[in-house]
Structure 1
Amino acid sequence: MRDDLMRPVYHPAGGDDDLRVAMVELQAGRWRAARNLLLATSSRGLRTSRTQVLAVAAAGADVVDVWLAEEPDAYDPQMMRARVFVERALRAHRQQHTGVAEFEARARHAAQMAAQRAPQDPVPWVCLLALAQIDRHQRRPEHRVRSAEPMLPPGPWQLLDEVTRRDPYNREAYHRVLQFLLARNAPPSAQLASVFDFGRWVASWAPAGTPMLLLPAYAQVEQCRLQRAEGKVHPLWRRQWAEEPMHSYSLDAFHGWFKKADPAMRSLTDLNYLAYALWAGHQYLEAAAVFTAMEPYATREPWVSLEERPPGPNGGQELMLRARRESLAYANSHAPPASSCQGPVGHSSRLA
């Protein structure tokens, strides 16, 4: 398809049609589709990601409160109430709302209640981990626990352990830690160093099929954001993706995650980060496979943060289409007939 005909679709649900329907229903004040979706979701990883996206859709209304009033003995509306409260607290924090402490306390209480109700569910612990980024000065003891890895700073490591005991390699949990490391009260250089250390450490032991292999790419993008904010982006910044260690990290993520993970479980955000990393590192055949797998969906990040000039009204779309065009053109002229890389595209994540 020509670029003038291909325009990416930006939707938090990505190719997850059932999630998209549930989001539309929640936004219309109807909760039964969300209830049925969660009842049918057996994978803990998928359940975590779907509830996060549903909370974004429900945070602006009282639909989850109505659901809980209708089914007071059910666990899912109680858990979703915690999800919604966390989303509202994070929004208040980003907007520097004067009532952020009240939002945070309400969210923390709801998450703790859900954790007591369903001790084996990782979602309430993910909620508590998400709230750590609000505590920039690490006043709460659970946010300044020493890490088993000496190079990492004190942080919410016990909360991460609680999640991983219930759902090893939970994607959102590790990205919540990244957000905490970027938010903590430290010089930007120290924040960035901890993000790089965390990403490389996790990628060194993360097994094949897990999205944590992409964490070094997220750290690299954060470096560009920081340099851009300080007006220090080098004109040849893209070359770093073709050099070690990023070149190896990107290929490891392609072969170890993209090629082995269940397509339905692949985050659309992760696909976009991987597509950029491969294209910027001149791995055009691999980048083309990722672009093909995620069509027609896309996310704004990392493209909007990595445009070489101030982003226009389309928010990174021009760079994404350029990378896609160059990758597919190279693949069409160099690759053998297409293999089975293509598959269903998972939903997007607002994280990272």
Structure 2
Amino acid sequence: MRDALMRPVYHPAGGDDDLRVAMVELQAGRWRAARNLLLATRSRGLRTSRTQVLAVAAAGADVVDVWLAEEPDAYDPQVMRARVFVERALRAHRQQHTGVAEFETRARHAAQMAAQRAPQDPVPWVCLLALAQIDRNQRRPEHRVRSAEPMLPPGPWQLLDEVTRRDPYNREAYHRVLQFLLSHNAPPSAQLASVFDFGRWVASWAPAGTPMLLLPAYAQVEQCRLQRAEGKVHPLWRRQWAEEPMRTYSLDAFHGWFKKADPDMRSLTDLNYLAYALWASHQYLEAADVFTAMEPYATREPWASLEERPPGATGGQELMLRARRESLAYANSHAPPASPRQNPAGHTSRLA
């Protein structure tokens, strides 16, 4: 059994050491490590996630502007400029900044310029999709397109199609749609219904190895957040995870995504959501596998939002450590006995 007293490490780069170095360099005003990292990143999915995390690190300074001035003909600083502008627009929106419209316009223009420069890159389209959540009243026509799924409301479905045409099953794109559904101007119950419908619909056809199998778990967490905001959380809320269909969704995500996806491509946030879902549904052996895979890193969510008395008091760390401790203890006590080792002649060895 692993050390139950392990303390989690919280870092947006998780186990991506190269990304962590590039983030530190950007925060220090140096861009060459980010340039080299993106040049070496061939996977479109990994490129999408890395540019998003780098933008968070760079959004508070002008380091990307300096990079673009030094390499005006390069594409990577141009798309990173779009990423940074989108991050600033979303922050302004969350903070209800009076200049959010100006931030949004600047971000949209930068994303459109990047899309023209590299038509096959999904990242500019992910940027445009991310901006949809700012348009709560869906004034822009591209944010009120009818969905191919009749149960879903009008939304930025064409933008999602543009991303998936370039990178099928792009994780961030589907999560940006979730954020849109939670932000558009509708009653909270209607928002939540849309999120559940979207998660279940995508999980019904998402192929093995793709993180969209986890979308129902994200929807379930959003339900808890909404109920807590309204003071309506049932004391036995956790039991819902052990009931159908959530139990099956969690196991499908474990076997269909966790067990089949490239470990280097697995999102740390997804690992934390899956660990919670499995623990809450009493699938302790599977939860232990996920906790072991993500060590020593962790994310605050979903633990902070699901923490009890009061939510978020410890940033979710106590709940995460409890779930980890219980899962590893169960796995340790239910581990199959070790098979006797064989010597080269085929005889059983007596050595322990």
* Normalised TM-score (structure 1): 0.95
Q: Which entry has the higher C-alpha Rg, 1 or 2?
A: 2
Counterpart of 1:87 in 2: which secondary structure?
A: helix
Q: Say if 1:209 and 1:114 are closer, same or farther in 2 by CA, change over 3 A.
A: same
The answer to whether the Cα contact below 8 Å between 1:172 and 1:351 also exists between their aligned partners in 2 is: no
Counterpart of 1:298 in 2: which secondary structure?
A: coil
Separation (CA, whole Å) in 2 of partners of 1:346 and 1:314: 54
Aligned equivalent of 1:32:
32
Aligned equivalent of 1:94:
94
Q: Say if 1:42 and 1:337 are closer, same or farther in 2 by CA, change over 3 A.
A: farther
Could you tell me how far 1:309 is from its partner in structure 2? 1.6
Could you tell me how far 1:314 is from its partner in structure 2? 2.8
Deviations 1:217-265 (A, max 9, x none): 0000000000000000000000000000000000000000000000000
Q: Say if 1:234 and 1:313 are closer, same or farther in 2 by CA, change over 3 A.
A: closer
Could you tell me how far 1:4 is from its partner in structure 2? 6.8
The answer to whether the Cα contact below 8 Å between 1:15 and 1:345 also exists between their aligned partners in 2 is: no
Q: Say if 1:342 and 1:255 are closer, same or farther in 2 by CA, change over 3 A.
A: farther
Provide the aligned C-alpha RMSD in A. Answer: 7.5
Separation (CA, whole Å) in 1 of partners of 2:167 and 2:308: 39
Deviations 1:195-230 (A, max 9, x none): 000000000000000000000000000000000000
Separation (CA, whole Å) in 1 of partners of 2:128 and 2:345: 28
Aligned length: 352
Separation (CA, whole Å) in 2 of partners of 1:349 and 1:60: 62
The answer to whether the Cα contact below 8 Å between 1:293 and 1:343 also exists between their aligned partners in 2 is: no
Deviations 1:140-165 (A, max 9, x none): 00000000100000000000000000
The answer to whether the Cα contact below 8 Å between 2:340 and 2:349 also exists between their aligned partners in 1 is: no
**Structure 1 stretches lacking a partner, 5+ long:** none
The answer to whether the Cα contact below 8 Å between 1:288 and 1:324 also exists between their aligned partners in 2 is: yes
The answer to whether the Cα contact below 8 Å between 1:14 and 1:346 also exists between their aligned partners in 2 is: no
Q: Which of 1 and 2 has higher RCO (CA within 8 Å, sep 6+)? A: 1
Deviations 1:144-196 (A, max 9, x none): 00001000000000000000000000000000000000000000000000000
Q: Say if 1:339 and 1:235 are closer, same or farther in 2 by CA, change over 3 A.
A: farther
The answer to whether the Cα contact below 8 Å between 2:341 and 2:348 also exists between their aligned partners in 1 is: no
Q: Say if 1:4 and 1:329 are closer, same or farther in 2 by CA, change over 3 A.
A: closer
Counterpart of 1:212 in 2: which secondary structure?
A: helix
The answer to whether the Cα contact below 8 Å between 1:293 and 1:341 also exists between their aligned partners in 2 is: no
Q: Say if 1:350 and 1:47 are closer, same or farther in 2 by CA, change over 3 A.
A: farther
Separation (CA, whole Å) in 2 of partners of 1:264 and 1:185: 37
Counterpart of 2:158 in 1: which secondary structure?
A: helix
Q: Say if 1:348 and 1:241 are closer, same or farther in 2 by CA, change over 3 A.
A: farther
Separation (CA, whole Å) in 1 of partners of 2:26 and 2:351: 21
Q: Say if 1:310 and 1:3 are closer, same or farther in 2 by CA, change over 3 A.
A: farther
Could you tell me how far 1:341 is from its partner in structure 2? 22
Q: Say if 1:116 and 1:161 are closer, same or farther in 2 by CA, change over 3 A.
A: same
Counterpart of 1:341 in 2: which secondary structure?
A: coil
Separation (CA, whole Å) in 2 of partners of 1:175 and 1:169: 11
The answer to whether the Cα contact below 8 Å between 1:264 and 1:344 also exists between their aligned partners in 2 is: no
Separation (CA, whole Å) in 2 of partners of 1:350 and 1:337: 15
Could you tell me how far 1:5 is from its partner in structure 2? 3.8
**Structure 2 stretches lacking a partner, 5+ long:** none
Separation (CA, whole Å) in 1 of partners of 2:337 and 2:288: 13
Could you tell me how far 1:308 is from its partner in structure 2? 2.0
Q: Say if 1:25 and 1:349 are closer, same or farther in 2 by CA, change over 3 A.
A: farther
Q: Say if 1:350 and 1:281 are closer, same or farther in 2 by CA, change over 3 A.
A: farther
Separation (CA, whole Å) in 2 of partners of 1:207 and 1:324: 28
The answer to whether the Cα contact below 8 Å between 1:31 and 1:67 also exists between their aligned partners in 2 is: yes
The answer to whether the Cα contact below 8 Å between 1:267 and 1:346 also exists between their aligned partners in 2 is: no
Could you tell me how far 1:335 is from its partner in structure 2? 2.2
Higher mean C-alpha deviation, range 305-314 or range 258-267: 305-314
Deviations 1:63-83 (A, max 9, x none): 000000000000000000000
Separation (CA, whole Å) in 1 of partners of 2:350 and 2:38: 19
Report percent identity of matched pairs. 94
Higher mean C-alpha deviation, range 327-336 or range 119-128: 327-336
The answer to whether the Cα contact below 8 Å between 2:174 and 2:212 also exists between their aligned partners in 1 is: yes
Separation (CA, whole Å) in 2 of partners of 1:103 and 1:351: 68
Counterpart of 1:345 in 2: which secondary structure?
A: coil
Q: Say if 1:343 and 1:270 are closer, same or farther in 2 by CA, change over 3 A.
A: farther
Deviations 1:39-83 (A, max 9, x none): 000000000000000000000000000000000000000000000
Could you tell me how far 1:311 is from its partner in structure 2? 3.5
Separation (CA, whole Å) in 2 of partners of 1:200 and 1:231: 26
